[in-house]
Amino acid sequence: LLDASLSRIRETDDRIGAFLKLDEEGARKRAERIDEGDEDPGLLAGLPVGIKDNISTKALSTTAGSRILGDYAPLYDATVMEKLEHSRANMVGKTNMDEFGMGSSNENSGFHPVRNPWDFDRVPGGSSGGSAAAVAAGQVSFALGSDTGGSIRQPAAFCGVVGMKPTYSRVSRFGLVAFASSLDQIGPLTRNVEDAAVVMQSIAGFDAKDSTSADVEVPDYLSALNGEVKGLKVAVPREMMGEGVDAGVREKIRQALKVLEDLGAVVEEVSLPHSEYAVATYYLLAPAEASSNLARYDGVRYGARVEGDNLVDMYNRTRSSGFGPEVKRRIMLGTYALSSGYYDAYYLKAQKVRTLIRRDYEEIFQSYDVVVGPTAPTTAFRIGEKTEDPLTMYLNDICTIPVSLAGLPAVSVPCGLSDGLPVGLQIIGKPFDESGVLKVAHAYE
Ligand code: GLN
Confidence at residue 374, expressed as pLDDT on a 0 to 100 scale:
98
CA neighbours within 13 Å on the CB side: how many for 287?
24
Query: Cα(128) to centroid of ligand 1, in Å?
Result: 9
Query: Cα(103) to centroid of ligand 1, in Å?
Result: 5
One of 56, 104, 127, 404 is an active-site residue; which one?
127
Query: Which of 52, 53, 96, 102 has the most ligand 1 atoms within 8 A of CB, as the residue to mutate?
Result: 102
> Using CA positions, which residue lies closest to atom 10 of ligand 1?
102
Query: Cα(401) to centroid of ligand 1, in Å?
Result: 8
Q: Is 287 in the pocket of ligand 1 (CB under 6 A)?
A: no
Query: Which of 151, 279, 381 has the most ligand 1 atoms within 8 A of CB, as the residue to mutate?
Result: 151
Query: Which residue stretches of the chain have pLDDT < 50?
Result: none
C-alpha of 332 from chain center: 24
C-alpha of 171 from chain center: 13
Interval 223-236: pLDDT, tens: 999 999 999 999 99
Q: Is 286 in the pocket of ligand 1 (CB under 6 A)?
A: yes
Q: Phi first, then psi: what are they for 381, rounded to 5°?
A: -95, 170
What pTM does this model have?
Answer: 0.97
Q: Phi first, then psi: what are they for 367, rounded to 5°?
A: -120, -5
Which long-range contacts does 249-253 make (Cβ < 8 Å, 24+ apart)?
A: 249/374, 249/376, 249/377, 249/378, 249/379, 249/418, 249/423, 250/374, 251/418, 252/415, 252/416, 252/417, 252/418, 252/423, 252/425, 253/372, 253/373, 253/374, 253/415, 253/423, 253/425
Interval 78-137: pLDDT, tens: 999 999 999 999 999 999 999 999 999 999 999 999 999 999 999 999 999 999 999 999
Q: Is 127 in the pocket of ligand 1 (CB under 6 A)?
A: yes
Strands 90-95 and 48-52, sheet pairing: parallel
Query: Cα(221) to centroid of ligand 1, in Å?
Result: 27
Task: Clarify whether 127 is annotated catalytic.
Answer: yes
Alpha carbon distances (Å) from 71 to 36, 64, 81, 99, 104: 33, 11, 19, 14, 24
Are residues 127 and 2 in contact, defined by beta-carbon separation less than 8 angstroms?
A: no
Task: Clarify whether 52 is annotated catalytic.
Answer: yes
- Residues near 424 by beta carbon (within 8 Å), at least 6 away in sequence: 153, 154, 156, 157, 158, 163, 374, 375, 376, 412, 413, 414, 415
Q: Is 151 in the pocket of ligand 1 (CB under 6 A)?
A: yes
Task: Clarify whether 352 is annotated catalytic.
Answer: no
Are residues 81 and 30 in contact, defined by beta-carbon separation less than 8 angstroms?
A: no
Q: Is 103 in the pocket of ligand 1 (CB under 6 A)?
A: yes
One of 5, 151, 172, 412 is an active-site residue; which one?
151
Query: Cα(183) to centroid of ligand 1, in Å?
Result: 10
Confidence at residue 279, expressed as pLDDT on a 0 to 100 scale:
96
* Distance between CA atoms of residues 239 and 403, nearest Å: 13
* Distance between CA atoms of residues 210 and 205, nearest Å: 11
Q: Is 104 in the pocket of ligand 1 (CB under 6 A)?
A: yes
One-letter amino acid for residue 277 of the chain: Y
- Residues near 166 by beta carbon (within 8 Å), at least 6 away in sequence: 185, 186, 187, 200, 204, 409, 434
Query: Which of 293, 329, 330, 397 has the most ligand 1 atoms within 8 A of CB, as the residue to mutate?
Result: 397
* Residues linked to residue 422 through DSSP beta bridges, in sequence order: 417
Interval 13-49: pLDDT, tens: 999 999 999 999 999 999 998 877 767 778 999 999 9
Query: Cα(311) to centroid of ligand 1, in Å?
Result: 32
Q: Phi first, then psi: what are they for 311, rounded to 5°?
A: -60, -50
